Structure 1
């Protein structure tokens, strides 16, 4: 089947597949339920979804949650999708398999297993450099719990590096959500930590995803402010934003690495967004800011007797009618209040 494009001529390029809605943290900007929705997809059904998306042009698979390391079949799924990398008549195939994780469960053994299964890239998350800051951003009881979590994530970085996820080629990065009034004082320490460890720091504006996080525009520390603060200490050179990318990148003039900033609030990138999201229970969403009732249930096309082409046709039809541009409309003042599907459910 030919590559799919939507009503704004945006191609399907990335499938973000959530493996679980559960998480072992309770970050205030996400606030997961801690329980699974009913009717989770089986391993076979997940593979069918990935194959259909690749047939329509998806070249990147991002495995998410909740916390995907809670999913016991993670390595098996990564190994099972490897044949989709092959060149085919329909398109170039799968080029990258990535994982987004909070890192607290990434042992040395698990990192090696993920690499052996065929994972290309890991992005870990850390929103502070002190026990108190980590506790506040991870929903933990106290600074002692924050210190333990911080230590676990720092260890996970080294486990991933040792397993072959090389930050020098972009195979290991660190995400940080920065929220004014909560952890904005961690911006410079996080950048210093990443400079020391040779990691690209991906700074994410506080977003109005879901309905639980009490989002306020006043709490958004904009990309421009973050770049200005960092550049005042370590001068930066702009590298731009890749086509269909989520982040604008900057390099340090002293050669000590780079940063990236995801500015979906202050500088929306809806115009070339190429991401399809599928939840752990098989609901497809075409926007991170989608309303809960706007998803398409893929399970009718995932029955044991279903023809794979029917799933491809369903996804192609969904993408063909896509016209989402929520962040641009929000910036233009064209969006009023509305319910959003929850971040942990959508996979971020």
Structure 2
């Protein structure tokens, strides 16, 4: 889907830790598959893989290079990553890249984002045993109808089954040792005005009841298929006002490089987070590099189709780890993306974006 924009001979030999705006590389979001078992209208995956999926060895090469360049967090994504049969093997194989001392560079966490439908009790245990630290599950409604509508399922009966599966997955993850009190288990919800904005309070109530941090995400213009319009965005401020009117909140702020601003319930019943990419962009300290399942690196979620760097030329047997590291460094060094801050400018008007399921969200 994209071609290499550099060649090993042209990659600069000097590796800088920051991009053109002074942002370091801190998070690698690695997509394992573009396929999904749902068809959420804000994502709309292809339902098939791009050609040339990376092998386990190639993925480990990409992760190793990113860690050497400063990545301390690895998030495994899709599509739906639980569709990838080698998931546990990959997580186990990454363990030697962990930091073993506070002063030793290395991975600090390995996380997974999933819709939860395939997270059985056994799978949760296997993931934990392999070395996964955190799971974020997605749930965009608390009723069969809202779940069916937000996942592209055929009817309320299918929505009921999906809802039950996600609620069970939460408990499977908890039982496997993913403790929400330590931030190891969270719940994502994309809110689309006119589609599921009536679910903000019910989702907050569900999360409070189950002791989970709920992360409310503004509907974003990712890809070119979801019919995004600014009028469909329920802003983070509006969500917070709704929830705060029922359960008063106090701010915890947004830590450096984080996507979410966090809030604490004043009654002590946990926390809440909002991802306000549209209404309050956080491009200024974005530190995320995305690599697709077929090995194309993108430095922005809102990148244009075909604009990524195909890493496969540096993932051949005859290539060295040093060459791969320099290729990724060159991409990062020339990065100046800040689409969300420029969303309403002439520069970004009518721009096309690569699809979310391909980029890994």
TM-score band by shorter chain is over 0.9
Q: Distance in 1 between matches of 2:54 and 2:106?
A: 23
Matches within 5 A, 1:292-303: 292-303=305-316
Equivalent in the alignment of 1:122: 135
Kept in 2: contact 1:14–1:60 (CA 8 A) = yes
Match of 1:234 among 247, 253, 256: 247
Partner residue of 2:8? Answer: none
- 1:279–1:287 Cα change, 3 Å: same
Give per-residue Cα distances to partners, 1:219-244, cap 9 Å, x unaligned: 00000000000000000000000100
| Residue correspondence of structure 1 range 2-151 to structure 2 within 5 A | 4-87=17-100, 92-151=105-164
Counterpart Cα distance in 2 of 1:88 and 1:277: 27
Q: Is the 8 A contact 2:29 2:360 kept in 1?
A: yes
Tell me if 1:263 matches 2:276: yes
- CA distance in structure 2 between the partners assigned to 1:71 and 1:162 by the alignment: 22
Q: Deviations over 1:122-179 (max 9, x none)?
A: 0000000000000000000000000000000000000000000000000000000001
Query: In angstroms, what is the RMSD of aligned CA positions?
Result: 1.4
Q: Which residue of 2 aligns with 1:181?
A: 194
Q: Give the Å deviation of 1:92.
A: 1.7
Q: Equivalent of 2:323, from 310, 314, 318?
A: 310
Contact kept in structure 1, 2:15 and 2:330, CA below 8 Å: no
In structure 1, the residue corresponding to 2:306 is in which secondary structure?
A: helix
Tell me, yes or no, if structure 1 residue 285 matches structure 2 residue 298: yes
Q: Report deviation, 1:4.
A: 1.9
Equivalenced residue count is 348
Q: Distance in 1 between the 2:106 and 2:309 partners?
A: 24
Kindly indicate whether the alpha-carbon contact (under 8 Å) linking 1:265 and 1:331 is maintained by their aligned counterparts in 2: no
4+ runs deviating over 3 angstroms: 86-91, 331-334
* Residue 191 in structure 1 maps to residue 198 in structure 2: no
Does residue 1:225 correspond to 2:241, yes or no? no
Match in the other structure for 2:4: none
Gaps spanning 5+ residues in structure 2: where? Answer: 1-13
What is the CA-CA distance between 1:2 and the residue it aligns to? 6.3
Check the 8 A contact 1:65/1:344 in 2, yes or no: yes
1:327 is aligned to: 340
Q: Shift of residue 305 of structure 1?
A: 1.6
The verdict on how the C-alpha distance between 1:142 and 1:275 changes in structure 2, with shifts beyond 3 A counting, is same
Conserved 8 A contact 1:3-1:57 = no
Q: Compared with structure 1, are the counterparts of its residues 122 and 89 closer, same or farther at alpha carbon in structure 2 (3 Å cutoff)?
A: closer
Asked whether the 8 Å contact 2:124–2:173 carries over to 1, the reply is yes
Which piece of structure 1 moves more, 327-336 or 255-264?
327-336
Deviations 1:270-310 (A, max 9, x none): 00000000000000000000001210000000001211100
- DSSP-derived class of the 1:232 partner: helix
Which whole-Å CA distance do the structure 2 matches of 1:151 and 1:8 have between them? 45
Q: Per chain length, whose mean CA-contact separation is higher, i.e. which structure has more relative contact order (CA < 8 Å, sep 6+)? A: 2
Mapped to 1, the partners of 2:217 and 2:172 lie a distance apart of 24
Tell me, in whole angstroms, the C-alpha distance in 2 between the residues paired with 1:88 and 1:306: 30
Q: With the length of structure 2 as denominator, give the TM-score of the two structures.
A: 0.95
1:245 maps to 258
Q: In the aligned structure 1, how far is the partner of 2:246 from the partner of 2:213?
A: 17
Shift of residue 86, structure 1, vs aligned partner? 3.4
Deviations 1:57-79 (A, max 9, x none): 00000000000000000000000
Equivalent position SS for 1:76: helix
Cα distance per residue 1:61-111 (max 9 Å; x no partner)? 000000000000000000001000035899520000000000000000000
Match of 1:200 in 2: 213
1:274 aligned residue: 287
